Structure 1
């Protein structure tokens, strides 16, 4: 539905790229499910591209200077304020976001939102290029793995300042605010929250006569159930997707062992903990319970093989249930992550962030837009939980009022983790994106027996510490 004055669109097209947040992509998943991008599984390496960004920005600046004399008066010069808002996503996200922005413009005459959106591929490079040329969007979407990178380069406006310009933080959990505070500056806010979860193809479990695990299940329970499903279903079907390449899964494992994946200081786990994790998945591959390396690489995201009925269970982010369910006929069940430890290991994690560019010429109006997108029930009645569960509980009912049954199952998992009260980690140090990609790379070397687990762990720790130093 069109609302108010239509905003201007800049590069408003969906590319073949996909979106992260908890968000993994696959050619097997339909368009509505493309919000699952490989960023969340094998994260895009973006940390070392500033040089290219500066060169590209220099060319862009030269062109803009040459054109200054012939540029027409902008809407701002005519009394209008123009805000540029950049985000990545799918067709569905673009439609929802544009409808919400139309409502914002209707509520705020005199402000026009220029919408710059597309797929995830190249999104961060584009932001870096724009920042190097002092041409960042006024408001833009980010994800936590690169948040500290942008903050360290002075590209993010302190949202503490925005609280006097139209942004309200009433009702926000202080722990969440602390996780986005870098060197005393509130660098971004959570545009949505989610948590780690496990999904099951109920049809394959029923076929094998195996009960779906329930809350409180262990990693041993997973191994046993997966082996039974592999044995009780057609040849070529496995009980679980091999998740050894997933740093998000290892993150839960490390937490359950009283350690952390990444901390303020760098790596937060011992070599033995990672060895145990990779040995666990090696044992499942050897027993036939988990997908072999060849199949895992053919279906690279944690649920590609589930959608293809090649695996009966795997990892997901809890707010993404509907997208996977829409791609498979069998009913999907969901539960919390396995684990023997009293510590659940999961936590409410940032699906994605929203930030204001430090160079914005309209901080007040930018603060008003961020406030609307995060705190206005009418906005969330449109946006729903596409980007995750709202961080502000006051708008939670509006966002979840019309969810379907499968999405509600995921929300139950999120609610349980929220009740645990586990604090989310601080944004990782610059270089974390490269570390996440390295994790997947070395796990794959182990999958194909090209490297021993002990050697892979040693290599990961050495190279990861270099990235984070």
Structure 2
């Protein structure tokens, strides 16, 4: 027998030892797991991997990334400096850039395993980043008051929930707004549009404006996803339902036909001018270039529009039942799930959203403050008449808002682009509303996968 080969008796003994030792280890392991279970679940509830700090004054450096211009950067840096003043052990690695390319950079940081602890995000991408398990579920912090949303409109904080998890918290509030040229209407003795007028009433009103002023009464919003979304909700539908589209080809056809009728009646500009409205930024919307009496924008964009015209502007809700509108997050703050300093990062968010001194610094740069008490505090200091009007209208609409819809699915930005393409096919008369609707629905299904 080879010396390395054990005898049968030795092999039997060895098998016994190999069997008995794992059993003892198994029993010890079961006992250890039983003791550890409450701790494990407690850690999971708190967001997980962050070790409990024994020293609350230990130095913490948080990275934070946002988009915006120099004015936003200056305000944000001032607010973060105030946090450091109140919490000297916490400092920030701050990065910001213009909107263009921001999400490419965020994707690169995430893919490279180096996401910022706190980052700004919008509803085009929140679902995508939540699905990637990148965003920390903030529900625990909301429930225990460490992230206080008790003064937020309910539909505002709910608009950050993805698959039952609070993936982002609103950095500001916005809602859809129909901005109109008040000076033009008053000069011509025409009534102003009102919240609650039906879509048909709005088109009839716009037709009268066109006839009397020779300025088309309304921009054609058939390519505008905001208007389509509100209209859908007034029909008992939605843009998305679960992981599917919330509308049918028949719904889109009706929407496109509604606006073909408006174009045929002269209530809107011609296709070339409509395209200009579809393609330009906020500073060149038709309501300020004098090519239409109304534009379909966000309510808090009124001040920016006002900078580009000498005329007085007004803003109301989109046509139809205003309860179809909701308190939309103008943008969100999210926390990276793998952050080593989750608790501190959440505290920073709570500070930026709820601290009166921070609110005075940040103002309305990211939309109206989400906290209604803070909003009143900030609005009392506002001197710009256009911003005062915007705040008053949104505060009034807050009493009429309905439940928030689900956050858009991954592929939402593609859906928005495809609506413009399909609507313009109908606007230029290159195809029928029904064919354009078929084109749009097929593109949407491809976009959301």
Q: In the alignment, which residue of structure 1 is the partner of 2:108?
A: 129
Alignment partner of 1:245 is 2:226:
no
Change (3 A) 1:309 1:174: closer
Out of 198, 205, 213, the residue aligned to residue 225 of structure 1 is 205
Alignment partner of 1:345 is 2:318:
no
Alignment partner of 1:276 is 2:276:
no
Rounded Cα–Cα distance in structure 1 between residues aligned with 2:265 and 2:146: 58
**1:94 Cα deviation from its structure 2 partner:** 2.2
Out of 274, 290, 306, the residue aligned to residue 287 of structure 2 is 306
Change (3 A) 1:358 1:165: farther
Alignment partner of 1:333 is 2:314:
yes
Change (3 A) 1:449 1:131: same
Change (3 A) 1:184 1:274: closer
Alignment partner of 1:413 is 2:378:
no
Aligned 1:382-397 pairs, distance under 5 A: 382-397=361-376
Out of 320, 328, 333, the residue aligned to residue 301 of structure 2 is 320
Length, aligned pairs only: 388
Aligned 1:182-201 pairs, distance under 5 A: 182-201=162-181
Q: In the alignment, which residue of structure 1 is the partner of 2:119?
A: 140
**1:399 Cα deviation from its structure 2 partner:** 2.7
> Match of 1:151, SS?
helix
- When the two chains are superposed, the root-mean-square deviation of aligned CA atoms in Å is 2.3
Q: In the alignment, which residue of structure 2 is the partner of 1:64?
A: none
Work out which of the two has the higher radius of gyration on C-alpha atoms and give 1 or 2.
2
Out of 248, 259, 268, the residue aligned to residue 290 of structure 1 is 268
Q: Deviations over 1:262-286 (max 9, x none)?
A: 2223211233322222112222222
Rounded Cα–Cα distance in structure 1 between residues aligned with 2:188 and 2:264: 20
Rounded Cα–Cα distance in structure 2 between residues aligned with 1:367 and 1:381: 20
Rounded Cα–Cα distance in structure 1 between residues aligned with 2:385 and 2:101: 35
Alignment partner of 1:364 is 2:364:
no
Aligned 1:395-406 pairs, distance under 5 A: 395-403=374-382, 404-406=384-386
**1:220 Cα deviation from its structure 2 partner:** 2.3
TM-score, normalised by the number of residues in structure 2: 0.81
Q: In the alignment, which residue of structure 2 is the partner of 1:445?
A: 425
**1:176 Cα deviation from its structure 2 partner:** 4.1
Out of 342, 348, 357, the residue aligned to residue 378 of structure 1 is 357
Q: Deviations over 1:274-324 (max 9, x none)?
A: 222211222222222212221122342476111111111111211221111
Q: Contact 1:87/1:116 (CA < 8 Å) preserved in 2?
A: yes
> Match of 2:366, SS?
coil
Change (3 A) 1:298 1:169: closer
Rounded Cα–Cα distance in structure 1 between residues aligned with 2:146 and 2:80: 17
Q: Contact 1:192/1:390 (CA < 8 Å) preserved in 2?
A: yes
**1:433 Cα deviation from its structure 2 partner:** 1.9
Alignment partner of 1:254 is 2:235:
no
Change (3 A) 1:257 1:167: closer
**1:183 Cα deviation from its structure 2 partner:** 3.5
Q: Contact 1:201/1:313 (CA < 8 Å) preserved in 2?
A: yes
Q: In the alignment, which residue of structure 2 is the partner of 1:4?
A: none
Q: In the alignment, which residue of structure 2 is the partner of 1:48?
A: none
Larger helix proportion, structure 1 or 2?
Answer: 2
Q: Contact 1:191/1:350 (CA < 8 Å) preserved in 2?
A: yes
Structure 2: runs of 5 or more not aligned? 1-57
Change (3 A) 1:88 1:402: same
Q: Deviations over 1:135-162 (max 9, x none)?
A: 1111011011211100111111122354
Change (3 A) 1:220 1:373: same
Change (3 A) 1:177 1:223: closer
Q: Contact 1:263/1:428 (CA < 8 Å) preserved in 2?
A: no
> Match of 2:258, SS?
helix
Rounded Cα–Cα distance in structure 2 between residues aligned with 1:227 and 1:173: 36
Q: Contact 1:189/1:353 (CA < 8 Å) preserved in 2?
A: yes
**1:421 Cα deviation from its structure 2 partner:** 4.1
Rounded Cα–Cα distance in structure 1 between residues aligned with 2:100 and 2:415: 19
Rounded Cα–Cα distance in structure 2 between residues aligned with 1:172 and 1:290: 37
> Match of 1:419, SS?
coil
> Match of 2:444, SS?
helix
Rounded Cα–Cα distance in structure 1 between residues aligned with 2:153 and 2:219: 35
Alignment partner of 1:97 is 2:67:
no
Q: Contact 1:197/1:336 (CA < 8 Å) preserved in 2?
A: yes
Rounded Cα–Cα distance in structure 2 between residues aligned with 1:348 and 1:183: 19
